[in-house]
Structure 1
C-alpha cells in the first residue's frame, strides 16, 4: 500500500527548501559581515595611501 502524505505539509516543506536555496544564493551574492566590510575598506584605504605616497609629482 502507498504511503499517505499530507499535501499541505509537503507544500510547506517544498516552499521552505526553495526559500533556503534563494537565501543561500543571496548570502553568497550580497552577504558580507560588518567586520569583513570594515577589513576590506581598511585594506583598500591602506593600498590607496601606499599608491598615493609613491606617486611622483609633476611640476
Structure 2
C-alpha cells in the first residue's frame, strides 16, 4: 500500500507552489529599476524600427 497523505496539506502545498511560480514571474516583470525599464523600452523601439525598415512594400 501507498503512504497515507493529508489531502488538505497536499492541496495547500500545490497551491503554494503555483503562487511561488507566479511570484517569480511578477518579480521579473515588476522588480526592475527605472533605468532597466527605460533600457528595455529603448531596445524594443530600436528592434521595432529595424523590423519596420526591412518590410517590403507590395
Tell me the residue number matched to 1:57. Answer: none
Please list every run of 5 or more consecutive structure 1 residues that lacks an aligned counterpart in the other structure.
Answer: 45-59
User: Structure 2 length normalisation: TM-score?
Assistant: 0.54
- Between the two proteins, the alignment pairs up a number of residues equal to 37
Q: Within the alignment, does 1:20 sit opposite 2:20 as a pair?
A: yes
Tell me the residue number matched to 1:6. Answer: 6
1:24 CA drift (Å): 0.3
Taking the aligned partners of 1:20 and 1:2, their CA distance within structure 2 comes to 28
Taking the aligned partners of 1:2 and 1:31, their CA distance within structure 2 comes to 43
Which stretches of structure 1, 4 residues or longer, exceed 3 Å deviation after superposition? none
